[in-house]
Amino acid sequence: MDGLISLCNEIKGCKKCDLHLSRKTAVCGIGDRTAEVMIVGEAPGSNEDQTGVPFVGRSGKLLDKMLIEANLPRSRVYITNAVRCRPKIGRTPKITEIRKCTPFLSKEIETVGPVLIIPMGNSALKSIGIILKMNFGRISEAWKSIYHVNGMFILPQFHPAAILRNPKLFHIMKDRFELIRSFRDDIKNGKSMDYLGEKYGIIKI
């Protein structure tokens, strides 16, 4: 556990890119430090910048709703971000900023040891791709797939902010979290990789 505390202190003091110049608070990961499921967002928003806690604004409320419906309350998952400091309003993280923060995410994955990783949005997907040395493409296509890489399952998902901007995507997010619930239950019940692969069309890498 001390490893995550030390990592959080490193994050809070990080000055590897210019985002530290305008931040109020660098945002560390939070949640169950032995979680089977890790949620990776894109970057802090204004609420997160104020509080230092990931997913506490409108996006966080939507995420909490989906997690509860999937029988995965926030207390049982680990939630973090691809980038730890808030970009300027309306701007997505640059790839250089994602790369600077990726070692933090890599350390969290190593320490927590999740079985399922849910990257939410393109920045999160890029960061996971950097860590695993592969290109998942864009979230608009990758969300349809489940990947099995290095003993972990990667289940890409639209970011809740994208759902709030385009409510037509809500049913996709809801269906996806229903699938996540089913998939997690099958893993907990000891279903074989052959069973999982046939049922969910897993892409093995």
Reported as a single tens digit per residue, the pLDDT across 68-102 is 999 999 999 999 999 999 998 778 999 999 999 99
> In this structure, is residue 45 part of a structural domain?
yes
CATH number at residue 102: 3.40.470.10
Look at residue 197 and tell me if it is in a domain: no
Segment 39-54 mean pLDDT: 95
Assess if residue 94 is contained within a domain: yes
pLDDT tens-place string over residues 8-28: 999 999 999 999 998 999 999
Please check whether residue 43 lies inside any domain of the structure.
Answer: yes
150 occurs within a structural domain: yes
Residue 53 in domain: yes
106 lies in some domain? yes
- Is residue 195 included in any domain, yes or no? no
**1 has a pLDDT exceeding 60:** no
Look at the chain and report how many structural domains it folds into.
1
Of 192, 91, 189, give the one whose Cα is nearest residue 148. Answer: 192
Q: Which domain holds residue 108?
A: 2-189
Q: What is the pTM of this model?
A: 0.95
